[in-house]
Amino acid sequence: MHFGFINVMKPPGMTSHDVVARVRRLTKIKRTGHGGTLDPLAEGVLPIAVGQACRLIDYLPSDKSYYAEILLGKKTATDDLEGEVLEEKETSHITSEQIEIALDQFRGEIKQHPPVYSAIRIGGQHLYDLARQGKAPEKAPERKVVVHELEIVFIAPPLVAISVHCSKGTYIRSLARDLGDSLGTGGCLSKLIREKAGLMTLSNSLSLDAIKDLVDKSEWQSLFTDPAMALGFEKVELDEPDAENIFHGRAIELESENGEPGRFLLGVQNGSYIALLKKLENGNGKPEVVFSDARVST
């Protein structure tokens, strides 16, 4: 059974759901899911889990890195160029120094209102559905996010290009909108490339055409990113008694070199992934996720 993660280069113009559906058709593997939505306008790294690796999506490193272009002077309903234009203002008076000063407030831990057109749920409904029905709140609920790094790539008003390394849940569309508001011009996102998602990078990503080619050639090892590499967890070799205990949900004894308590490890037997283990205070490894029939290769 195929098991692992595919580092997909999502093209602009497709939803993340569309990309998952395409990968599902290409690989003929029904159990497929993605780790971290990208808007249709955006492109770049979209981690896709295949087979029982879908059970590991929540354990993927959650930080992201982006290249973004912000267009000042235009305010839209969706906070990007795909939405209805709500307001346009002159930007010729805005200086590079003003932009640099304004960007300072978006570094570190910040409070952010996600776009009204987003996948956040309120009362069990997606905000974008409520927005299309005219029932969305004026602002989405505020949340705290962390912008670890924000660097200016270039400033050529009305365009501002930045690179951002941020925590899970950070909306670059909101950052574009808020930068425009702070300058008094309005602003929206005009381009977004996710360069990194956790440990997966753009340079190692695969286009949909490349995925089709690898599947056609049955080169499955080249298609998958090994779960240990994608998750950043070490492997621990299991013997037959250990595997039997894990299959029955029982903790096993781990060596002291297998890390500190609270650490996650991937249990492997005869080259096959057996389980995700969590090291306990007493040194034992508790099975968090068991996938007895999962394999990285055919």
Catalytic residues: 39
Tell me which residue of 42, 45, 41 sits closest to 5, measured CA to CA: 45
What is the chain's percent helix, strand, coil content, to nearest 5?
A: 30, 35, 35
Nearest Cα neighbor of 201 from 217, 225, 184, 176 is 225
Distances (CA, A) of 250 to 37, 55, 268, 274, 278: 35, 19, 16, 13, 12
* 201/279 Cα distance (integer angstroms): 28
Partners of residue 144 on adjacent β-strands: 111
Q: Are 258 and 16 in contact (CB under 8 A)?
A: no
Instruction: Scan for tokens 């925590």, then name that residue.
Output: 167
Question: What letters, b where the CB count within 10 A reaches 16 and e where it falls short, cover 280-298?
Answer: eeeeebbbebbbeebbbee
Pairing mode of beta strands 64-72, 108-112: unpaired
Q: How many helices (H) and strands (E) does the chain have?
A: 8, 18
Amino acid identity at 126: H
The DSSP code sequence of 141-205 is PPEEEEEEEEEEEEEETTEEEEEEEE-TT--HHHHHHHHHHHHTS-EEEEEEEEEEETTEEGGG-
